[in-house]
Amino acid sequence: MALSCSSLYRNLSLTRVCCLRTNRVTNGLYSPNVSCQSRLPVFRLYSSSKVRRGLGRYVTSRLQWANSKYEGFLKRRFPRFYQLYHTFVEGVKLLLQDAKDVRRIKAKMFSEGVKFQDLPYREMEKLRQVRRDMIKAIPLLVISIPPFANYLVFVLMYCFPRQLLIPHFWTPKQQVEFRGRYHSLRAQHHWAVLKGLENRSCHVKDSQLQSRLKDLCAKVQNGRNPNASEILAVRSLFSGPPLGINRMSVNHMRHISPLLFLTPHLPWFLLSRRLTHHALELLQLDRALSRLGPHQLSDSELRQACFVRGLDSDSLGIYQCREWLYQWLQMSSSLKDSEISLLLHSIVFLSANYPNGPSRH
């Protein structure tokens, strides 16, 4: 009996000590009248949240450590594969950042009622470029979703980088190489565009305008560079028949489309619609760039702006690119929406021989 009382006393003492410790830890959260049993579940919840946060930090740090070890292993043993892996990871980061920027711009347009043509140049260019990139990038991202499927993406990156990947996933060397390749494909249509203009010039009733158009085409074909005033002298021919955006022949539209990196293999009504949309978009970009000022662009932005408008900017110096872009804006800033056909043909007029030499075809 004494043994039983002694054991009971020790158990009661132990319970009291546990309750006192719990009360000290949770002091200020609960009143002294609340029983220990009502405090313990909340105490466990409070403690487990700290444990979960600590466990999360630990798991994150271990994953980062494992990833750094994996990258170090690839860099030492498989340097070419590591370059593909690193390019892919950085490309995904850039793509996600672009998605955030687009969401921010779209939210601004919705909340403030801002139209596309009223956006600043960089935001306008971001929307234009991301829209074109996402069309090409979505199939690649879908392929990489299943486990270990990213290794298939690496194979595609290695075998078909120009055809399947957007510039986010190109190395700096590939960016220069592929832009040069795309420009050479675009330049193959310069001669056909000029020949098409010559053939259509016979339908011009005004003899003075007909002579100016022929002289302009001959000047470019002979390897010389026309200036903005010579191009603007024939602007009236490109707002209606025979050279307006909706009056061009189907064959002529098929040669104009590659100048904007658009596929020519579409029905004529889709060709006309796409050319109109992209030409208006380019004209709106020019107006936004004129408001900003070309001198505000960084070197990479300057080269990209010239490349989009038809120039092989990677083969030229920064001063030449800036000089050419000023000349382009001098021409485009005078155009109306109805004269966008002249904007498309100016890709050939201004870039075919710049800074000198014959057109590449």
List the single range of 30-34, 125-129, 295-299 with lowest mean pLDDT: 30-34
pLDDT at 137: 72
Map tokens 């024939």 to a residue.
234
> What's the rounded Cα separation, in Å, for the pair 155 and 81?
10
pLDDT at position 332 is 95
Separation in Å, CA 328 to CA 82, 229, 262, 289, 309: 42, 11, 21, 11, 8
Taking the CA atoms of 329, 335, 341 and 345 in sequence, report the sign of the dihedral they define.
negative
Confidence of residue 88 (pLDDT cuts 50, 70, 90): confident
CA nearest 294: which of 125, 106, 118, 102?
125
CB atoms inside a 10 Å sphere around CB 328: 25
Answer yes or no: is pLDDT of 68 > 50.
Answer: yes
Q: What is 93-132 written as a DSSP string? A: HHHHHHHHHHHHHHHHHHHHT--GGGS-HHHHHHHHHHHH
Q: How far is CA 51 from CA 26, 47, 58, 61, 96, in A?
A: 17, 6, 10, 15, 31
Rg (CA), the chain: 33
Please report, rounded to a whole number, the percentage of residues in the chain having pLDDT higher than 70.
Answer: 77
pLDDT at 74 over 90: no
pLDDT tens digits, 285-333: 999 999 999 999 999 999 999 999 999 999 999 999 999 999 999 999 9
User: pTM of the predicted model, to two decimals?
Assistant: 0.75
The predicted model gives 110-136 an average pLDDT of: 91
Q: What per-residue confidence (pLDDT) applies to 195?
A: 94
Where helices occur in the chain by DSSP H, the ranges are 2-25, 36-77, 79-112, 121-143, 150-159, 161-164, 172-187, 190-201, 207-221, 228-232, 250-256, 268-292, 299-308, 318-332, 340-351
Token pair 């220990």 in the structure block, residue: 36
Query: Which uninterrupted H or E stretch holds 265?
Result: none
CB 247 within 8 Å of CB 240: yes
User: Residue 259: which of 194, 176, 336, 316 has the closest Cα?
Assistant: 194
